[in-house]
A and B are shown apart, each in its own frame.
Chain A
Amino acid sequence: MENGKNKELFKEKAEAIQTLVSSAATPEVIAAYTVDLTADQGGKTIALAGFDEETLAALLPDLKEKAKAKGIEVLEPPFRPHLENIHTGLTPALWGIAQTGTLVLRSADENLRIATMLAETHVCVLDPATIYPSTDELAPLLDAAIKENGAAYMAFITGPSRTADIERVLSIGVHGPEFLHILFKEEKADD
């Protein structure tokens, strides 16, 4: 109930800042959505990073097959050699923040950073169960994540890259992705 409210608010806030949000994404839907979107935009590559083993096993073979059918390459990490030819970055988010429609990505993995920074389009998968109302509720989790041993690179992403530096006119896609698509992961009906 409470989480349904967070999900609704997240969607509303994200859509208000040039982000497209879709629901009920299974691995098949994620693969099809990403490939179709890339093809529609004339993109030739997809860089995928950050998924856990289980999701990857369900997602990757399907993604590769669908991509191949449309002449799109699913890039193999590391992505450093591909800095100038990543069209779509496909990643999961760790958490969401409803109040601002913000994605939180655990980004220490350099490949994930490259996929989300240099792509023209970023497709991000978010589990609605991990959406928190505001940064107040998220603060202890974020604190713990930053303080984990070793390096941390936590990224809040809210909408596509933007600027208003010329005559204060809003313009999308200056250095980062021009398009941000969020896919809500299919919710398990086990309760």
Chain B
Amino acid sequence: MKKALLPLLVVVLFYSDSVFMIFFSEQAFDGAYVPVPRFFFIGLLFMSVFFDRNTAIKYGFFFGFLFDMFYTGLLGAYFFFLPLLVYTTSKLTKWLHSTLPVFFVIILFDIALLEMMIYGLNVLVQRTALSFEQFAYVRLLATLVLNGLFYIVFAIPLRNAFLRLKKVFD
């Protein structure tokens, strides 16, 4: 029964992004900064390190697909990038010790990478006219700050949750 808590936690994380957007005014900072919530992605990375990598990749595929279909309509983007980044992160954390401060840097790096890949894809399919400098200034910095704050608040609860779930599954 306790095993059902894992999908539940992931579903909560999945919807947390859009719930954040309900509370957060889109015109904050007069549109000068566009922070993007990546809470689900952070949760997924925690899962890959503190729970199990392959499960995280499967969840990444599945929920990335849902994200593509439900929110963006551009099929394939998150479906592909989320598992890829989970995989590279798990490789990175094998070389670096995954203490929470080190993991903080890794996660910010991953989010920056995800943002840049999504930006690149949008340029490729001509859905945006933003130049890279504008993108870096308007979106990337704000996104890193927002998700950094999220990490600082939720890192320890998330880690504990996944460690406890790992015990349940073992």
The reply to whether chain A is a binding partner of chain B is: no
Residues of B within 8 A of A (CB): none
